[in-house]
Amino acid sequence: MTDTVQLSLPEVHELAVRVLRHNGMSDAHAQAIARVIAAGQRDECHSHGVYRLLVTTHTLRQGKVSGTAEPIVRDRSPAIVAVDARFAFSQLAFEVGSKVLAAKARQTGLAAMAINNCYHFSALWPEVEALADQGLAAMALTPSHAWVAPAGGSRPALGTNPLAFAWPRAGHPPYVFDFATSAAARGDIELHRRSGQPIPIGWGVDASGAPTTDPEAVIQGGAMLTFGGHKGSALSTMIELMAGPLIGDLTSLDSIALDAGKGGTPCHGELILAFDPDRFGLGDLQGDQDRAERLFSSITQQGARLPSQRRFEARARSIAHGVQLSRALYSDVLALLR
């Protein structure tokens, strides 16, 4: 018996649907979440792949996140669609709303989707990539829980606040990035704590505000730091405002206060912007694309990588050969069907 299990991508999707359905999720939610889990596994983003079924099932069994609420889509203006996720995970809300978002972006050149009352589930790249696959440029932003100190401070005020962006490319996967505005992911600091490893200086401060290499000190009473000093801190604050108060939803401070120490997943809003290059350009779309491609070539020809390049290489492998799961993980997931 080998210690890995080989699955095709449709098998990953089907496994995820079975587990989620078995644990009380509606088919619509299960299909939407299975799509991002299969995408995460396919791109070798392991923390967003099959492993995520363990976390998600645990959350579902706790009953805090709805597995069945149907999102309500509201057409609010020629350029705004709002989706009330009704305290379910955000994926189904995104899938339902993004059809309206894309249609509006094609009609008016740019459009926004506000998702309210959703639980954060996955990375944001599947969302901006889905829009880029339709020929749209897209940005997505969301607050999280207040774990991160602002530049010049030492106490949590900001979330890990990811920003994702995608730009459609003819004949190539899109240009995509998706980064946390914290210096490190919360999960990376947790992993260091569990394995007893020190963290690099710059990831966080202790309760006194002093830089520390002790992950425990950051998590217990200290604070994470943003990337990029005062610039990263400013960008993170923008994400709070745009995906929080602008759309009538919570900041990371509000979200962690609502959680009241239970350690639950952030409950908040998300803002997605979509831009149609056909509508913005001045009639020379080929020239516009060529200028973007020259920029990408200038980056790659000097040996630098485009963001997500590693993911796209993993994707090509997974599409050709399927994915490998550790037998231990596979057994843990199958146990969720009991």
- As annotated, the active-site residues are 47-48, 188
- CB 195 within 8 Å of CB 201: no
Here the tokens at position 195 are 């394995």
Radius of gyration in angstroms for the set of CA atoms belonging to the chain, rounded to a whole number: 20
135 scored as a contact of a copy of itself (CB under 8 A):
no
279 scored as a contact of a copy of itself (CB under 8 A):
yes
Q: Whole-angstrom Cα distance, residue 265 to residue 274?
A: 26
204 scored as a contact of a copy of itself (CB under 8 A):
no
The span of 3-11, 39-47, 232-240, 313-321 binding a copy of itself (CB under 8 A) equals: 232-240
- Contact pick of 241, 258, 314, 329 for a copy of itself (by CB under 8 A): 241
- Contact pick of 77, 197, 208, 331 for a copy of itself (by CB under 8 A): 77
3-state helix, strand and coil shares in percent for the chain, rounded to the nearest 5: 45, 20, 35
State the residue for tokens 């040996």: 303
Q: How far is CA 308 from the centre of its chain?
A: 13
| Interstrand relation of 80-89 and 72-77 (parallel, antiparallel or unpaired) | antiparallel
Cβ atoms within 10 Å, residue 256? 21
Q: Which is nearer to a copy of itself, 6 or 107 (CB)?
A: 107
- Contact pick of 238, 258, 314, 329 for a copy of itself (by CB under 8 A): 238
CA dihedral for 106, 109, 110, 111, sign (positive or negative):
negative
- Contact pick of 248, 317, 334, 335 for a copy of itself (by CB under 8 A): 248
Q: Which is nearer to a copy of itself, 30 or 139 (CB)?
A: 139
Q: How far is the CB of 215 from a copy of itself (least distance, A)?
A: 21
Q: Which is nearer to a copy of itself, 51 or 203 (CB)?
A: 203
87 scored as a contact of a copy of itself (CB under 8 A):
no
116 scored as a contact of a copy of itself (CB under 8 A):
yes
The span of 20-28, 30-38, 50-58, 301-309 binding a copy of itself (CB under 8 A) equals: 301-309
Q: Which is nearer to a copy of itself, 107 or 197 (CB)?
A: 107
Question: Could you tell me which residues come within 8 angstroms of residue 99 by beta carbon, excluding any fewer than 6 positions away?
Answer: none
CA dihedral for 129, 130, 131, 136, sign (positive or negative):
positive
230 scored as a contact of a copy of itself (CB under 8 A):
yes
- Contact pick of 24, 211, 245, 264 for a copy of itself (by CB under 8 A): 245
- Contact pick of 172, 231, 310, 327 for a copy of itself (by CB under 8 A): 231
3-state SS class at 124 = coil
Residues near a copy of itself (CB under 8 A), total: 77
189 scored as a contact of a copy of itself (CB under 8 A):
no
The span of 51-59, 78-86, 189-197, 326-334 binding a copy of itself (CB under 8 A) equals: 78-86
- Contact pick of 47, 154, 213, 324 for a copy of itself (by CB under 8 A): 154
The span of 53-61, 64-72, 293-301, 330-338 binding a copy of itself (CB under 8 A) equals: 293-301
Bridge partners of 138, per DSSP, are: 166, 274
Q: How far is CA 214 from the centre of its chain?
A: 27
- Contact pick of 22, 24, 47, 177 for a copy of itself (by CB under 8 A): 177
237 scored as a contact of a copy of itself (CB under 8 A):
yes
Distances, alpha carbon 99 to alpha carbons 31, 104, 106, 153, in Å = 16, 9, 11, 41
Extract the runs of DSSP E, i.e. beta strands, from the chain. 4-7, 72-77, 80-89, 110-119, 137-141, 148-149, 162-167, 175-180, 204-205, 223-225, 267-275, 323-326
